């Protein structure tokens, strides 16, 4: 079986680090990640540079990334303007931030949940107005679907109401995001099973954070539920500037190791992934980067999956 | 459902730290762990003090620990002499190191696997010679059951041959240990299912290390297979002096958080567990101790399980 590891470090990771990675370094890092076999990379966020100066070079980064053969280039866009800019730069796919927590939605994108759902509709209408070959895939990850540091509990019925409404508005896939590292494996299994039951082939992937060390435990549960796409960030960098206490995405290196050890083909070469990590480390000297596999090395008994993904 | 978290920090953890924790500090730490609700603690190893000076006070530590009401006091003993000493000190239960890797067995206890199996037999004969009320439980954890840093692959058929033979010799329970952090969830699920199938109620628990960050992912798989006892170490301290590259047990704090979040009752109070961590930190100033939950705090939405374990 194949599993898609969608690398979000250049977006989710870099936006949570206060200094900006130089554009040329971003190019090198993204190329190194793609060379390791990552087939989808979220490379930038099309938000105003005054809000996230780390993403000021988004258009340039996308334009360079789309020249890498075989790579799906994903960009985050918080509104129609951002989507237009992402497409102008050549992005293949856009991801829209929609939060299931009312409090986080207001803090993150200054919209209510209902407004965010309506905006997905407008963006999908815009997409449908384009010539078929120019239409991007529109992906939604429902942030704080498992709980919120501001609001606390997020009602599960509401999460699925939002998922259904966002899908009905035209999103191609709707995933669930544990933005602040609150999820547990029982919840993950139950909610992703329900996501597949309710949305069918529009059910999206899992975006997990390792804030409380539960990230890979949640991956095992998500795999049980049938999830085949996982976001992860090299070196575990990441967070959310508008979700207090959010930290660290699951670490791409440790995730790939987990999946490959389980016989699931990611197409990613661990050694080359560690080379990409060097590029990250050199571009942001002194920045803490995480991961157990990079420290301990792969097991003597490790065999990468021989699946078709390679 | 209840799950037993068996704390191994005072033995597996402290033996892997080069300096010795003062005896009085061990007493304080073990009392704090028990006060947090841990019902079983592996407090010492009865090995010659010249080999592991950190364990020179084993008898004293056991004698103090058995005065704590409701606590099962476990001691490791590598041979009959060690078992006799552990029992003389008052240990309720002994755990015998038996390795499934020939190379690790020789390095760790200077015996072949066959010799180690025979020794389990001698120890069980000794146990049976005692008056019934003085007989300790004899537990075996099969080290390196999932692979070995010295030998590499460990044959799975051999692991189960050993498990059957050790059980036949009279061990009360036989668990599987991922001494060097090589296991993956597929392997864990398969092997623990088989352990239950082959040994029935003599099937023991899981001893996992987090060397490659896969520890809690393996817990989820082990729970699926029916495992209800997990070793863990406060602060993730631990390793094996005779298994190169072995590091960090799974972190008790993160494990308890995982289990309680999943609705499984451990009987452990997270806040009091964090107080015990302070005792550990103060007793070994400057020593690195690990764990995500201690750093991030519990989720706003966290509710400890209301199971009977509390």
**pLDDT, tens digit, for every residue of A21-77?**
999 999 999 999 999 999 999 999 999 999 999 999 999 999 999 999 999 999 999
Phi-psi region of A59 (alpha: psi -120 to 50; beta: other; left: phi over 0): alpha
Contact A257 B214 (CB under 8 A): yes
CATH number at residue A279: 3.20.20.70
Mean pLDDT of all residues in chain A?
Answer: 94
Contact B213 A180 (CB under 8 A): no
Contact A210 B299 (CB under 8 A): no
Partners of residue B298 in chain A, C-beta under 8 Å: 212
In a domain, B26, yes or no: yes
Residue of B213, B220, B299 with shortest CB distance to A182: B299
Give B61→chain A minimum CA distance, Å. 32
pLDDT of residue B309: 38
pLDDT of residue A304: 84
Give A24→chain B minimum CA distance, Å. 32
Residue B308 has pLDDT above 50, yes or no: no
Residue B8 has pLDDT above 50, yes or no: yes
Residue A207 to residue A284: CA distance in whole angstroms: 24
State what percent of residues in chain A have pLDDT above 70: 96
Over range A118-130, report the average pLDDT.
Answer: 97
Residue of A186, A258, A299 with shortest CB distance to B147: A299
In a domain, B82, yes or no: yes
Contact B254 A149 (CB under 8 A): no
In a domain, B262, yes or no: yes
Helices and strands: H and E segment counts in chain A: 12, 8
In a domain, A303, yes or no: no
Residue range of the domain that includes B257: 4-296
Residue A130 to residue A104: CA distance in whole angstroms: 32
| Radius of gyration of the CA atoms of chain A, in A | 18
Over range B222-234, report the average pLDDT.
Answer: 98
pLDDT of residue A238: 85
Task: Classify the C-alpha dihedral B273-B276-B282-B283 as positive or negative.
Answer: negative
Partners of residue A297 in chain B, C-beta under 8 Å: 245
In a domain, B76, yes or no: yes
pLDDT of residue B305: 81
Residue of A211, A220, A297 with shortest CB distance to B221: A220
Residue A207 to residue A176: CA distance in whole angstroms: 6
In a domain, A204, yes or no: yes
pLDDT of residue B243: 64
pLDDT of residue A52: 93
Residue range B14-71, pLDDT digits in tens: 998 989 999 999 999 999 999 999 999 999 999 999 999 999 999 999 999 999 999 9
Over range B149-169, report the average pLDDT.
Answer: 97
Residue range B244-292, pLDDT digits in tens: 666 789 999 999 999 999 999 999 999 999 999 999 999 999 998 999 9
pLDDT of residue A81: 97
Partners of residue A224 in chain B, C-beta under 8 Å: 224
pLDDT of residue B246: 62
User: Has A240 been annotated as catalytic?
Assistant: yes
A113-129 vs A102-109: helix crossing angle, rounded to 10: 60
B192: confidence class by pLDDT, cuts 50, 70, 90: very high
Structural domains of chain B, count: 1
In a domain, B202, yes or no: yes
In a domain, A93, yes or no: yes
Residue range A92-110, pLDDT digits in tens: 999 999 999 999 999 988 9
User: Considering only alpha carbons, which residue of chain B is nearest residue A260?
Assistant: B184
Q: Which of A113, A124, A148, A240 is catalytic?
A: A240
A140 phi/psi in degrees, rounded to 5: -120, 130
Residue A186 has pLDDT above 50, yes or no: yes
pLDDT of residue B310: 35
| More confidently predicted of B34 and A246 | B34
Which residue numbers of B have CB closer than 8 Å to A's CBs?
Answer: 147-149, 152-153, 180-182, 184-187, 210-214, 216-217, 219-221, 224, 245, 247, 251, 254, 257-258, 261-263, 291-293, 296-301
User: Could you write out the DSSP letters of every residue in B91-155?
Assistant: -SEEEEEEESSHHHHHHHHSS-HHHHHHHHHHHHHHHHHS-GGGPPEEEEEEETTT-BTTTB---
Q: What is the pTM of this model?
A: 0.96
B108: confidence class by pLDDT, cuts 50, 70, 90: confident
């Amino acid at each position: 079986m194949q599993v898609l590891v969608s690398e979000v470090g250049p977006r989710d990771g870099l936006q949570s680090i206060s200094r900006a990675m130089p554009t040329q370094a971003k190019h090198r890092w993204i190329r190194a990640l793609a060379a390791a076999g990552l087939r989808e990379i979220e490379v930038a966020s099309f938000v105003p540079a005054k809000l996230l100066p780390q993403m000021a070079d988004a258009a340039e980064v996308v334009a360079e990334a789309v020249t890498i053969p075989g790579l799906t280039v994903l960009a985050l866009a918080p509104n129609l303007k951002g989507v237009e800019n992402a497409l102008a730069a050549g992005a293949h796919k856009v991801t829209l931030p929609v939060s299931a927590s009312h409090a986080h939605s207001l803090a993150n994108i200054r919209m209510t949940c209902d407004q965010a759902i309506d905006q997905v509709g407008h963006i999908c209408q815009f997409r449908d107005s384009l010539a078929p070959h120019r239409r991007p895939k529109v992906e939604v990850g429902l942030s704080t679907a498992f709980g919120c540091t501001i609001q606390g509990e997020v009602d599960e019925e509401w999460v699925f109401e939002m998922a259904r409404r966002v899908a009905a508005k035209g999103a191609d896939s709707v995933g669930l995001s544990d933005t602040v590292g609150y999820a547990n494996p029982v919840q993950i299994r139950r909610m992703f099973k329900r996501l597949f039951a309710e949305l069918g082939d529009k059910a999206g992937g899992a975006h997990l954070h390792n804030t409380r060390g539960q990230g890979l435990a949640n991956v095992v549960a998500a795999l049980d539920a049938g999830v085949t796409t996982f976001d992860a960030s090299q070196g575990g960098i990441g967070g959310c500037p508008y979700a207090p206490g959010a930290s660290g995405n699951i670490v791409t290196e440790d995730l790939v190791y987990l999946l490959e050890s389980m016989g699931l083909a990611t197409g990613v070469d661990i050694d080359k992934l560690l080379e990409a990590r060097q590029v990250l480390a050199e571009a942001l000297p002194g920045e803490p980067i995480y991961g157990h596999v990079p420290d301990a090395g792969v097991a003597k008994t490790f065999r990468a999956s021989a699946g078709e993904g390679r």
